[in-house]
Each structure stands twice: as structure tokens, then as C-alpha cells.
Amino acid sequence: MATPGQRIKGQEVTLQLVTDGSTIEDEINEIMDFEATYEMEILSQGYLGEKTERKDAIFKGIAGKFSAHIHTSKAFDYIEKIRAKVERKTPDTAFNLLGVYAFPNGEVRALTIPDVSFGAIPVATGSRNDYVKIDFSFAASEAQSVDES
């Protein structure tokens, strides 16, 4: 059993936004939270003469969200890149997410989410005291977790 000191915290996790496989979008680096959900669906089918339904499952991709504070107007350039792809002005642009988890025992796990599609992107200014925040929701067909230790 792991001791409490061995659990990973957000300070050991980084998220990088990568465009076209190599450009790290450093204008959005003040990530506040990150969530990735492996989307799976349980299928259930009943047949005559059987007492219970049979179960199966399918993988439907990965979806998630993250929020960031912005410190430069270039964050809006990233949103414009996303919009240009959605509007088919730059259909070959690829957006990837890379989450790096550095565990206290020295293990490092990289979660790569290639060819991300983005949903609505609200830009929020809560009040005079609040920092401007951008929320991103995303989905992709696949994700890969690789041991980088």
C-alpha cells in the first residue's frame, strides 16, 4: 500500500499544448486544472432463454477539459489557430496535448493525446479581482500513456 507521501500532486503534473507535432504553445502555460476521461460505453443485450443480459464494452475515445490563466495576448492567437482549423482554412493543422506525470518515486508517465478537437472556448472575466480565464474542452479518438522513466 502506498504511503500518503507517495501520492502525486498537481505540482508534479505539466500539460503542454503542441501544434503540428513540434511547436509548444508557451503562451498558454498557466494551466490551473486538467481532466482527461477515457470514454467507454457498456453494451447490454438480452436473449431469449437467458436469465441475465450479456455485457460488452467499446472504447469511444478520450475527452476532457482544462483551464488556464493568460499572461499575454498571444493566447488569443492559439484560439484563432483552433478556429482556422474548424473553419477548414488550415485543415492540416494538428493539435496535440501532452501531460507529463512525475511521480515521487522517480517514475515519469507521459499521456499523449494526438489530433485533439476542441469544443466551445469561453474566455471569462469573473470580476475586477479575478484573473482572465480560458476554459478548453476537447475530444480525441485515442490517447497513449508511455513510461518515460
Average pLDDT along the chain: 92
Cα 64 to Cα 118: distance, rounded to the nearest angstrom: 10
What's the whole-number mean pLDDT along residues 59-71? 95
- 68-99 residue pLDDT tens: 999 889 899 999 999 999 999 999 999 999 99
Task: Tell me which DSSP letter residue 82 carries.
Answer: H
Give the separation between CA 57 and CA 49, rounded to whole angstroms.
22
Cα–Cα distance between 63 and 116 in angstroms, integer? 9
Q: With 0.75 as the threshold, say if the pTM is over it.
A: yes
Residue 128 gets which letter from DSSP? T
Per DSSP, 80 falls in state: H
